[in-house]
Chains A and B, each alone.
Chain A
Amino acid sequence: MKPIEVKNLQKTYGDLKAVDGISFVVNEGEVFGLLGPNGAGKTTTIEILEGLRERDGGEVKVLGCDPWKDGYSLHKKIGVIPQEFTFFEKTSPREAIVYYADLFNIKVDPDQILRDVLLEDSAKTLFDNLSGGQKQKTGLALSLVNSPDMLFLDEPTTGLDPNARRAIWEVIRSLKAKGKTIILTTHYLDEAEQLSDRVAIMNHGHIVAMGTTDEIISQHGSGERLEINGEEKLAEYIKANTELQVNYDTAKCVISIPLNKKIDALAALAAAEQSGLDWGEIQTRRDSLDDVFINLVSGEVDEQGEIVSEDAESQLSRKRRR
């Protein structure tokens, strides 16, 4: 039995199918990333797994429990950071930990937990006065109070500066090293890539791709290609004089040639040289998770009617900040 098993999970709000029949499993000790634009259904999914929302259909098992029916006993075994975590304003991280331990009716060493999340310096600062990163660390600390083997982190680094994000990453890595199973949602591709063993990309309540980032890239992305900066004339010349498939991006003035064999690159460059035309930078490239993500979720209209277009990620992060 896997720690998390989800089959054909569904959740509707009124007419909106927020989660529309998704299935996945999470393996023990794995960091599983749920990636997707705003409104994809990440939080809904994760809240169902935490036992905070009732599902409308499908099967869910978390640590062998039905999270909705056995919610209270499940809560003793998992750790949770809700999206946009906040705590009581006039409470310090240390007090918050002690309070949480009371709720779980257990004894903990608050200072050890504070050290684990790199927060010992702000132990006594009131929550109100903490920085964004320190607030998220407080959330991490609270999620660790009951020493859970499984953690749900809903956008743990959204809105943090790069240093604060890296600090959170460090904590998450150390938790993974301790063998904890972690379900993480994020808008940030680099975060998913850096931290997750496996990723599921969600869009409009569906999982549109799942696997390790390499698997996703090879399944949904193009393979290696040669890119040459040059004029369209050059692209036409190469096309005419080789067997190669040649694409031209007029906006960027980039000639792009898929490489079925490495040796194709040589043929392309030889033709370019022969042409006598000028050409600039050359490089070989393959699709990054970025490219794949944008292909998978782009060109669609999101719930506000905005087009999630080529620059999807920056648009997303802009929307979040509003």
Chain B
Amino acid sequence: MNRRNVWLVFKKDWLEIKRNPQVLLPIVIVPIIFAVVLPAIVVLISSTPAAAGSSQNSVEGFLPLIANLPQDIQAMLAQMEPNQVMVYIMAVYFFAPFFLIIPIMASSVMGSDSFAGEKERKTIEALLATPLTDGELLLGKSLVSFIPAMAVTFVSFFVYGAIIDVATYSMFNGMLLIPNAVWLILIFGVTPALALCSIGLTVIISARVKGFKEAQQISVVLLLPILGLLFAQVSGLLILGPVVLAALIGLLVLVDIAIFYLGMKVFQREEILSRQS
């Protein structure tokens, strides 16, 4: 494996994508929505004290979640106004799984274009008769999905955190809601492992489908477990705490290894070439 070659593959794909706004647009827009619209909801809640009664009602919806939170946090919430509880739960817990959608979506959009798309456009064939190895191609192209996916994930996290903190600063008397340990593990531990998983699956899917549209559509399946997490948390079944997240990272790493092992088997020049039209 020659690092220079991996870099060259990455650079080429990246330049190509940069000149293709259709690919970049969705992976920029959705994170912006998450990073700005979700905090806007929180701001809305926090700025309507008259609705304290309704907050009380909404808090009831989160009771199963609250009941399963660690003792110290429950104690802290017990001291708060319903309004504050509502904001806290939403900003810190409820919205967290949304940030798992960003790396999955970004990396599968980029990956579908880079793997299935290039197979469809046949540009990948032009690179096979060069000194590039299959492994270098796979790694270089995976990075084209991974690096931008991580970049948008981190940026949207910073934007989200900043808006939340600024908006809730006075409400919580200077306590910063974000970052906390859970969010840090989530963003810097879970999302990279998740992005890799999604890239590996995209590689495998791309080998089996005709074009990148199909690959993208199938990749949507990856979002189901995330929705599962969201509901599991609301229903109190599973709280995204440090231990759960650590376990999740461990699981994802194992899945990543398995998927990339499979991906390497699928991503071979003879397979890439197969031209059954």
Give the docked Cα–Cα distance between A195 and B133 (Å). 33
SS class, residues of chain B in contact with chain A:
helix
A102 close to B123 (CB less than 8 A): no
Q: Give A41 Cβ to nearest chain B Cβ, in Å.
A: 13
Given contacts A85-B122, A105-B131, 16 further A-B contacts (CB under 8 A): A47-B273, A50-B129, A52-B128, A52-B129, A52-B269, A54-B270, A80-B129, A82-B126, A82-B128, A82-B129, A84-B122, A91-B12, A91-B15, A103-B127, A104-B131, A142-B126
Does residue A32 face the partner (Cβ distance < 8 Å to B)? Answer: no
Which B residues have a C-beta under 8 Å from some C-beta of A?
Answer: 4-5, 8, 12, 15-16, 19-20, 121-123, 125-133, 269-270, 273, 275
Give the docked Cα–Cα distance between A50 and B125 (Å). 12
Q: Give A195 Cβ to nearest chain B Cβ, in Å.
A: 21
Give the docked Cα–Cα distance between A78 and B129 (Å). 8
The contact sample of 16 A-B pairs, CB cut-off 8 A, is A51-B129, A52-B273, A53-B273, A83-B275, A85-B122, A85-B125, A86-B121, A86-B123, A88-B12, A90-B19, A91-B16, A103-B8, A103-B130, A103-B132, A104-B131, A105-B131
Whether A90 touches B130, Cβ cut-off 8 Å, given contacts A53-B273, A99-B12, is no
Does residue A75 face the partner (Cβ distance < 8 Å to B)? Answer: yes
Whether A86 touches B122, Cβ cut-off 8 Å, given contacts A52-B269, A99-B8, is yes
Q: Find chain A residues with CB under 8 A from B19 CB.
A: 90
Give the docked Cα–Cα distance between A104 and B2 (Å). 12
B131 close to A88 (CB less than 8 A): no
Does residue A89 face the partner (Cβ distance < 8 Å to B)? Answer: yes
Does residue A188 face the partner (Cβ distance < 8 Å to B)? Answer: no
Does residue A115 face the partner (Cβ distance < 8 Å to B)? Answer: no
A30-67, CB < 8 A from B? 43, 47, 50-54
Does residue A279 face the partner (Cβ distance < 8 Å to B)? Answer: no
Q: Find chain A residues with CB under 8 A from B5 CB.
A: 103
A72 close to B131 (CB less than 8 A): yes
B125 close to A82 (CB less than 8 A): yes
Does residue A87 face the partner (Cβ distance < 8 Å to B)? Answer: yes
Which A residues have a C-beta under 8 Å from some C-beta of B?
Answer: 43, 47, 50-54, 72, 75-76, 78, 80, 82-91, 99-100, 102-105, 139, 142, 152
Shortest Cβ-Cβ A-B pairs, 9 listed? A90-B19, A80-B129, A82-B125, A103-B130, A88-B16, A86-B122, A88-B123, A75-B131, A52-B269
B126 close to A104 (CB less than 8 A): no
Across the two chains, which residue of chain A brings its CB closest to B128? A52
Q: Find chain B residues with CB under 8 A from A104 CB.
A: 130-131
Q: Give B211 Cβ to nearest chain A Cβ, in Å.
A: 14
Give the docked Cα–Cα distance between A192 and B171 (Å). 82
Q: Find chain A residues with CB under 8 A from B133 CB.
A: 72
Q: Find chain A residues with CB under 8 A from B15 CB.
A: 90-91
Q: Find chain A residues with CB under 8 A from B273 CB.
A: 47, 52-53
Q: Give A60 Cβ to nearest chain B Cβ, in Å.
A: 15
Give the docked Cα–Cα distance between A89 and B16 (Å). 8
Q: Give A125 Cβ to nearest chain B Cβ, in Å.
A: 14
B130 close to A86 (CB less than 8 A): no
Give the docked Cα–Cα distance between A54 and B274 (Å). 12
Give the docked Cα–Cα distance between A80 and B132 (Å). 14
Q: Find chain B residues with CB under 8 A from A52 CB.
A: 128-129, 269-270, 273
Give the docked Cα–Cα distance between A139 and B122 (Å). 13
B129 close to A75 (CB less than 8 A): yes
A86 close to B126 (CB less than 8 A): yes
Across the two chains, which residue of chain A brings its CB closest to B121? A86
B122 close to A75 (CB less than 8 A): no
Across the two chains, which residue of chain B brings its CB closest to A90? B19
Across the two chains, which residue of chain A brings its CB closest to B130? A103
Across the two chains, which residue of chain A brings its CB closest to B269? A52
Q: Give A38 Cβ to nearest chain B Cβ, in Å.
A: 11
Q: Find chain B residues with CB under 8 A from A76 CB.
A: 131
Q: Find chain A residues with CB under 8 A from B8 CB.
A: 99, 102-103
Q: Find chain A residues with CB under 8 A from B269 CB.
A: 52-53
Q: Give A67 Cβ to nearest chain B Cβ, in Å.
A: 11
Q: Find chain A residues with CB under 8 A from B128 CB.
A: 52, 82
Whether A75 touches B130, Cβ cut-off 8 Å, given contacts A47-B273, A86-B121, is yes
Say which residue of A80, A103, A152 sits within 8 Å of B131 (CB atoms): A103
Q: Find chain B residues with CB under 8 A from A43 CB.
A: 275
Q: Find chain A residues with CB under 8 A from B275 CB.
A: 43, 83
